[in-house]
Amino acid sequence: MVSKGLKYSNIVFYGELIKIDTIERTYSFRIIELYKGNYKSSLIKGKFINSNCEIFPFKKDLWIVYANFNNDKTIKLDYCLPTQTIEIPPGFLPPIPLFTSSERKTTKIDSLSNEIDNLKIRNETMSNWFYQLEQLRAYKLSQNLSTENTIEDFNFKILITSLIINGILFLALIVLLLKNRKSKI
């Protein structure tokens, strides 16, 4: 799920939905941790354009967001990506409704059974959310380590090249000094 989200999104972050405007169809997130993409501000705005599979975030909560940029540099959320809140699973499944046959009344046991099922879904959602968060942190760490290794490799190559050039220059200096001594004798 996380690898698909990373592959098909421009930006991935953990953040808090801080503003929802249902009239303008816009929303804003405060970015807490950025895992993919370059974004300098801690606030990012989104816009609901009404395309296929698009999500309009409706709950001020902590979110793991997999998004793509619109032409105006706002983001859009997609049902096809694993964006979710800490309480609502990817795809925003609603709570299980209470079904009973029309011939009998809803009992306390029916209500409690339904509530237990909804709590199981909520528990699974929270577990999944934290699992995704840890996977994203591991991904970010691996990206940072590979960048550090690339920088270290580059610095090592510069050091070796510098040593070789200094060695050649030192040998040239010795040859010049020896030629000057021989010409004086």
Q: Residue 132's domain is classified under what CATH number?
A: 2.40.50
pLDDT class for 109, splitting at 50, 70, 90?
confident
In a domain, 31, yes or no: yes
Is the pLDDT at 47 greater than 90, yes or no? yes
d(CA 117, CA 77): 28
**Domain assignment present for 37:** yes
The pLDDT > 70 percentage for the chain reads 88
Q: Which helix (H) or strand (E) holds 89?
A: none
Select from 118, 117, 120, 138 the least CA-distant residue to 128. 120
Domain coverage including residue 125:
2-139
Confidence of residue 162 (pLDDT cuts 50, 70, 90): confident
Give pLDDT, residue 154.
75
Whether 108 has a pLDDT exceeding 90, the answer reads no
- Residue 163 placed within a domain: no
- Per-residue pLDDT for 20 more than 80? yes
Contact 63, 16 (CB under 8 A): yes
Q: Does 154 map to a domain?
A: no
Output phi, psi for 153, to 5 deg: -60, -45
In a domain, 159, yes or no: no
Average pLDDT over residues 41-70: 89
Task: Give the side-chain half-sphere CA count within 13 A for 74.
Answer: 12
pLDDT tens for 112-152 read 888 888 888 888 888 888 999 999 999 998 887 666 667 77
* Bigger pLDDT: 124 vs 184: 124
For residue 39, is it within any domain?
yes
Structural domain includes residue 123: yes
20 part of a folded domain:
yes
Number of folded domains that form the chain: 1
**DSSP-based three-state secondary structure for 71:** coil
Residues 6+ apart with CB under 8 A from 121: 89, 93, 95, 96
> What is the pLDDT at residue 147?
63
pLDDT at 3 over 70: yes
Q: Give the pLDDT score at 92.
A: 58
Q: How many CB atoms lie within 10 A of CB 161?
A: 10
Report the pLDDT value the prediction gives residue 103, as an integer from 0 to 100.
Answer: 63
Report yes or no on whether pTM surpasses 0.85.
no
